[in-house]
Amino acid sequence: MEELVKELKEIYVEKFGDCLFHNSYGCFGKDTIFIRLFLAKDESEVANRIMDNDMFSILLELRDFGNEYKLEKVLSGVREKPMDKYCYCSSKRIPYRVTLGDGEKIKKAFKKYVDNLHSILIEEFNNGNIHENDIELLKRKLGL
């Protein structure tokens, strides 16, 4: 499963460059890995040096069932401008369907998700919906 995680990281880094791809074992043992995606590469790029202030709220769960894997989202959203004047921010959900299959199927579904995330970020940037705290970082990371 570690090899599959490395390949997923390569897919993410190919699209987003020096953004952080963090993986860790969950409380379910060695058959479950949680994958957290960040736009920032480290604490120096986020507000108050707290990684939870990153614009991405993306957490995926990868489970190994022996002969197949399951990849599903736990959290999948990005911070945007507030929809009304009383809120600090809004969130845009990034769709992802649960994927069950071999490593190739998981990689294909993850690549589709990462490509979709990338295109949604560009679209939201062009529409002026990116939160003011994230505009400069997003421009730098995506070359906008």
The residue that leads in pLDDT, 108 or 83, is 108
Q: What is the pLDDT of residues 113-134, one digit of tens each?
A: 999 999 999 999 999 999 988 9
Give the pLDDT band of residue 47 (cuts 50, 70, 90): confident
Q: For 53-81, what is the mean pLDDT?
A: 92
The residue that leads in pLDDT, 69 or 91, is 69
Buried b (16+ CB within 10 A) or exposed e, 53-79: ebbbbbebbbbeeeeebebebeebebb
Mean pLDDT of the chain: 91
End-to-end Cα spacing for the chain: 35
pTM as predicted: 0.91
Burial of residue 134 (CB within 10 Å: 0-12, 13-18, 19+) is buried
Give the pLDDT band of residue 52 (cuts 50, 70, 90): confident
Buried b (16+ CB within 10 A) or exposed e, 6-23: eebbebbeeebeebbbeb
CB 59 within 8 A of CB 47: no
Q: For 29-41, what is the mean pLDDT?
A: 91
Residues 6+ apart with CB under 8 A from 63: 28, 31, 32, 69, 70, 71
Indicate the SS3 state at residue 56. Answer: strand
